[in-house]
Copies of this chain bind each other. A is one copy, B any other.
Amino acid sequence: MPEFLQSRFFDLYWHYFVAGLAVYIGARLTYFFFNSKDKKEEYKNFGNEADFKTPDQIAESKCVEDESEDEEIMPALPANLKHVPLVFEKLPVHETIERSEEFYKFMNMRRTVRRFSDESVPAEVIYNIIKTAGTAPSGAHTEPWTYVLVKSLEIKQQIRQIIEDEEEINYKKRMGKVWTTDLKALRTNWIKEYLTEAPYLILVFKQTYSFRDDGKKKLHYYNEQSVSLAAGMLLTAIHYAGLVSLTSTPLNCGPALRSLLGRPISEKLSLLLPVGYPAKDCVVPDLQRKPLEEILVEF
């Protein structure tokens, strides 16, 4: 037996060594547990620099089964993708100026509406509106959106039930005083008539990933931003067609609605928009929009 192990020093102090080793093991285990739970989760917001995950880290966390087999990683787009000339017709400058002004005035007329007429809207209008949202740009052209269009009154009633139940809890128990005070001015509460009044509901789901034809997983970079940006185009198309909408974010209802509508686990509810005509005598909050100098900084 080595001399050290027989020494008096060892006899006295080996307990401390064991205890120290145990603390270290405990710390590493917990670190590992947290690291795999919090860090390898859903891709976070671009811009949260503190926890920004590079695509490499996403690839690691999402494709670990692919990479461990050392397979060739299939791209989202063919590598030899052809490039074609841009179809573009330059407008005379005065027309560019006029159009920019006309479009601003037009868009400034758009208001969020909370009470709808039940008057029907031809389906092809809604199809065109959704196709328009589908022209939005997206990370690596992944087009990570699913538009669930609900016309059935029965399904709308089920959606309304889910949302109102959840919202009532939110209002009464969970919501901070600040949030409900802020919403008081907009006269919102947990009753959401629009969910059954409006002829259509559009539920916008973001696809966090999808699968290629060959079964390999396809990453959807910046899916949250892409889907929200596309929703901006959707709202614009609704307004351009002469209809109205409400941009709603049903709190905590995502999984229940996903389940009701048969969407896969890879999809998450982003927004819910009723679409149609406004109710007769519809009112809106007398809000002002910030003037240009409050939202613009120039260099």
Of B63, B82, B100, B122, the residue contacting A178 (CB under 8 A) is B63
Q: Is A195 an interface residue (CB 8 A)?
A: no
**When the two chains form their complex, are residues A178 and B59 in contact, meaning their CB atoms are under 8 A apart?**
yes
- A26 and B22 alpha carbons, distance in the complex (Å): 8
- A235 and B285 alpha carbons, distance in the complex (Å): 27
Q: Is A24 an interface residue (CB 8 A)?
A: yes
Q: Which chain B residues lie closer than 8 Å to A222 at the CB level? A: 249
- A236 and B133 alpha carbons, distance in the complex (Å): 11
Pick from A19, A143, A206, A225 the residue with the most CB of B within 10 Å: A225
**Residues 188 to 234 of chain A near chain B (Cβ within 8 Å):** 206, 219, 221-222, 224-225, 228-234
Q: Is A252 an interface residue (CB 8 A)?
A: yes
Q: Which chain B residues lie closer than 8 Å to A236 at the CB level? A: 232-233, 236
Query: Can you add 19 more A-B contacts, CB < 8 Å, to A41-B48, A56-B176, A146-B296?
Result: A30-B30, A38-B38, A44-B44, A47-B224, A54-B252, A58-B176, A82-B285, A96-B125, A97-B122, A97-B125, A100-B124, A100-B125, A103-B241, A108-B131, A127-B292, A136-B235, A137-B235, A140-B186, A224-B225
Of B60, B86, B129, B151, the residue contacting A278 (CB under 8 A) is B86
Chain B nearest CB from A290 CB (Å) reads 5
Known contacts A100-B241, A185-B79, A284-B86; decide if A127 and B296 are in contact (CB<8 Å). Answer: yes
